[in-house]
Chains A and B, each alone.
Chain A
Amino acid sequence: MAHSHPPTGTAIISARGLTQSFRTADREQTVLNGLDVDIRRGDFTAIMGPSGAGKSTLLYALAGLERPTAGTIKFDGETITGMRDDALAVFRRTHCGFVFQQHQLLERRSLIDNVLVAGALTMRSKPRIAAKARELFSLVHLDERAQTRTSAQVSGGEAQRASIVRALINDPELVFADEPTGALNSHNSQAVLDVFCTLHANGQSIVMVTHDRHSALRANRVLYLRDGAIAGECTLGAWDGGEPYGEREHTLAVFLNEMGW
């Protein structure tokens, strides 16, 4: 993807002292506990951790979908914590793309319409959005016939690939993916992960929450979250498109073992 962004390697997101608590009926539960983290431009970052560690909470907080209880998040040096709701919405449409575990496509609307609805946030011309969408659909290998179907009429993998197109339609600097393969079979998971790798190879910054080590292998950086804080970090290097086993898998396995996975 062509961006005129600062060089890769610099922090696109810096979170400091990030705390997130939820009040339930009888107690207050702290999910993120003074967490510090930097997300680097051009990285495909995977966030792993046990259930309840706060992976999705961290992802949504970094993306401006959830307000942290305490701490600051800076995006390209601009503090997004404390922004009003509408400013956060503008921030998300300008800088972020989202891929959810359940594709979260709008019902009763075709895949192409789902993409057009997102594209309309930054572009007014229907033909312009459609042309760009077609380009992205070909990137994720979805043909025109599938594009005109609704999410209920296509497979889970096709729907998830359409949601990736929707995430990319506004040229986001960062794509957030929350367990994007969690609801898919192995074949569809590979197809979706291939798309992410292609995007990353093209320079797209990606943050992906996953509990699947095969998915995490596609990332070049793995963060391990435990008890609401970053417990460790592993660098894998860029995915070269080869067999995801060998040294890369070994490195990740050692790291995860150290983390108690």
Chain B
Amino acid sequence: MRTLALHQWRRNKGAFLGFGATILIAACMLGSALTLLFTVGPRYTALADELHTADVDIVVPRTAATADVRDVIDHTTGVAAVDPHDVLLMDTQIHDFRGTDFAIRAMITDADASRTLNQTRVLATSGDSGDLYVAQYTAWFGQFAPGDRIELQLAGHDESFRIAGVVEEMEFGNAGSQILAFSAPAARFTQLERAYPQTRMTEYAVSISAGADPRAVRSHIERALADAGVPVAAAIDCDSVRATRTMVSRLIILILVVFAVLVTVVSLALCTFHIRNIVETDRTDMGVLKALGYTSQMISHAMMAPYLLVCVGATLAGLALSTLATPAIGSLIALQAGFTFHAQADARAWLITIAALAGVTLLFAWIGVRSLRALQPIEAIRGISARSQRHTVRPLNRMPGNARTAISLQQAAASPSRNLLVGCMAFLMTLIVSFAAVLTYNATVKPDNLYNTLSTETPQVVATPAQGETTEAMQRIRAIPGVQNVIAYTTARVGVDGTQLPAFVSDDFDAASNDIRYDGNHPATAHEIAIGSALADAHPIGSHVTVSHGGTALGYTVVGYIQSVNDGGSVCELTNAGYTRLDQDFAHSPHTLYVYCDGADTARVIRAIESTCGDLVTHTTDMERMRDTSQQMYGSVMSTVSLAMLILAVGLTSLVLMMVVRSTIARERRRFGILKALGYTSGQLMRQIAAALMPATAAGAVLGALVAGMAARPVTDALFATVGVMRSQFDHTALLPIAAALALTAVQGALALGFATPIRTISPYQLITE
């Protein structure tokens, strides 16, 4: 049996190597995915435990943080311990955060105060002095290092800090919580407290009892505080934070598993196809072996053994490769999640990968050798092919077209298993390429589509008018040449169902450039509200919802649903009059102005606002720069992903076609020899080989384009839904799948022609006399 297996290996080295290459890729992907699956979560949990991360955090203005508040929290069901701290919580802009201005709320804590919950660990320091510690998300993603200066606009005032160090923080250490943690040495913290007294808060870090649900406890506390009339500035729970921080790792694992499965399916289909080919071409030898006394089982095992060995070898090589790839992917996850993560090989991932790939290889190889059992030795020796007797090709006179077309069609219809393999591959590859094309198109050709899908309303310029100057500022800005529109669009905070969330307040939602509404309408009256996706299940359109602000709680009618990825769907929209019902002072307080112009004009418009409205506007922000930076980042990420998908698709296509064409040449050498002797040129035969694959390729590609055309929107919607997008703004033009199908068919045709070139080197004399 060993001799037989070695014979198989020597004769079909190329096929085994091709099979091994695909298994290697699949093992690398699957190994990386499983390693990440088994290590990211436990690492997060270990860090959270190590730093005693709170299960729930409630932030209350210092003025409201009385003993009663502590009492309410202490007595909420599920609360085990509470650790209160003085903090500053304020709207912030971090300048030059990865090349742009990054707006987020900042929570600044006293770095020298001792804590039992939400502890931090210093990862790097500047070595000497510094007056601000930043979370590693800020350092890695924002591209800051210890010793660098960081410019923050705190509550509208610019402050400059020198970064003292980078800390690990598991609760507010990532933008996913919508609050980014900073800590300052005691002296600087006190100085900031004095400078920004209105931002002084108390953070109640809460640990919950075993078995309690963090989300439920948070909701109970918020509701209890709302009932007691206590304003809540922020409330988060560890589960929501964890879900946000590990979002990218989950997506990466999902994508890797999907691609690993895809590559595995292709390699196994190749394995089955190839084994069946060997059985067909070597049937005489196998008939002789059977006649000599070898059993079907012995021959089958000899044929399956090289595949199993190649599979195990390639899987081990792929897993070894994954030890290089996984840390690179892990660092990407760490960058987004903002916690220290160094991916290391995981024995469970290796074992599962080996078992899964070896198992399915055995199964598919077994399917491939099944026909051996039916092989009658005497028929095989006589050269009577059961296949040739059973399966004669369709007669030429029943084929459409002239003689040459009929011959091509006859060849195309000659091998159902080959057509199935090539068709399925064309179908899958068209799907992949279509999907990659959709991503690239919406991230690079029409970058606003991706940006608007993931963000809320983003004008070119945000202008903050001085007290009482909103109307005048709006009129003057409108008069600036190049300004296309100006709307008042202010973000306030209200409570819904006991949860504090952003409320977009405007009377011009319809004039906004990014329609974040995915169902129903924007509010139009003082009693209407549109709510975010996170609240949608509990509040159908037409129902009433109670909204609170300060000590006021009023009912509103839900008229529509909106999306906001950054806020996890916890947002709402109110009209000016609607919000004024909650906050009587709103009418007299400055509203944020959203200024729209051509992107290229932004800098000039900002200069014009500063020169003509300097007395009316306290601050302007260039949002176009942020949009450009984000779009470039998204564009490069999506282009890289798409390129990787394209390389994978073309690589797999090449591999499959190479195997199919080479095995066709090997199996049909005699036929090609006869045809060459009759006068067919090498070019004609090469074209015949390529043309024989075209109907299956075209059918697979057309089917792939149809499915891609129908499924691209639901699939991208489903993918985006995992990150909270309820309505993607992607363009799904039918041209993309059609172009993908055409391109793939052309590439397959060219590749098939290329792989058929060895036919040129063989003389018909050789082929006939062999």
A residues sitting closer than 8 Å to B (CB atoms) are 56, 60, 65-67, 85-86, 89-94, 96, 98, 100, 104-110, 112-113, 116-121, 123-126, 129-130, 148, 150, 152-153, 166, 170
Are B671 and A92 in contact, CB atoms less than 8 angstroms apart? no
Q: Could you list 18 A-B pairs, sorted by A, with CB under 8 Å?
A: A85-B760, A86-B681, A86-B682, A89-B681, A89-B684, A92-B679, A93-B680, A98-B678, A104-B670, A107-B385, A109-B393, A112-B395, A113-B396, A116-B403, A116-B407, A118-B679, A121-B679, A126-B397
Contact B765 A60 (CB under 8 A): yes
* Inter-chain contact B678/A92, CB cutoff 8 Å: yes
Residue of A nearest to B763 (CB): A66
Q: B388 within 8 Å of A by Cβ?
A: yes
Question: In the complex, given contacts A100-B677, A120-B404, what are 12 additional A-B residue pairs having Cβ atoms less than 8 angstroms apart?
Answer: A65-B677, A65-B763, A65-B764, A90-B679, A98-B678, A106-B674, A109-B392, A112-B396, A112-B397, A116-B396, A118-B679, A124-B404
The chain B residue with its CB closest to the CB of A130 is B397
CA distance A85 to B410 in the complex (A): 26
Q: A60-B765, A148-B395 are in contact. Are A126 and B403 (CB under 8 A)?
A: yes
Specify which chain A residues have a CB less than 8 angstroms from the CB of B397 in the assembled complex: 112, 116, 126, 130
Interface of B is mostly: helix
* Residues from 742 to 766 in B contacting A, C-beta threshold 8 Å: 760, 763-765
The answer to whether the Cβ of B384 comes within 8 Å of any Cβ in the partner chain is yes
Q: Which of B383-417 contact A (CB under 8 A)?
A: 384-385, 387-389, 391-393, 395-397, 402-404, 406-407, 410, 414
Residues on the B chain within 8 Å of A56, using CB = 769
Q: Measured between alpha carbons, how far is A85 from B764 in the docked complex, in Å?
A: 10
Q: Whole-angstrom distance from the CB of B190 to the nearest CB of chain A? A: 90
Give 8 nearest A-B pairs by CB, closest first: A93-B679, A120-B403, A89-B681, A92-B679, A86-B681, A66-B765, A124-B402, A65-B765
Residue total for B at the interface (Cβ-Cβ under 8 A): 37
B676 on the A face (CB < 8 A): yes
Residues of A within 8 A of B765 (CB): 60, 65-66
Query: A233 vs B403: C-alpha distance in the bound complex, in angstroms?
Result: 43
In the complex, whether B597 has a CB less than 8 A from a CB of chain A is: no
Interface centre among B389, B676, B678, B684 (most CB of A within 10 A): B678
* Contact B402 A108, beta carbon cutoff 8 Å: no
| B contact residues around A106 at 8 Å (CB) | 671, 674
Known: A124-B402, A129-B403. A110 touches B395 (CB 8 A): yes
Provide the bound-state CA to CA distance between A116 and B678, in Å: 12
In chain B, what residue has the closest Cβ to A110?
B395
Give the Cβ gap from A160 to chain B, nearest Cβ, in Å: 14
Selected from B384, B406, B676, the residue in CB contact (under 8 A) with A152 is B384
How far is the CB of A19 from the nearest CB of chain B, in Å? Answer: 16
Q: Are A117 and B675 in contact (CB under 8 A)?
A: yes
Kindly list chain A residues whose C-beta atoms are within 8 Å of the C-beta of B403. 116, 119-120, 123-126, 129
Residues 624-677 (chain B) with a chain A CB within 8 angstroms:
670-671, 674-677
Q: Mark B414-458, 1 if CB is under 8 A from A, else 0.
A: 100000000000000000000000000000000000000000000
Contact A113 B680 (CB under 8 A): no
Asked whether A107 lies within 8 Å of B671 as measured between CB atoms, the reply is yes
Contact present for B768 and A100 (CB under 8 Å): yes
User: Of residues 135 to 194 in B, which have CB atoms within 8 Å of A's CB atoms?
Assistant: none
Closest chain B CB from A27 CB (angstroms): 19
Determine the distance from Cα of A170 to Cα of B760 in the docked complex, in whole angstroms.
24
Whether A121 pairs with B678 at a CB distance below 8 angstroms is: yes
B550 within 8 A of A: no
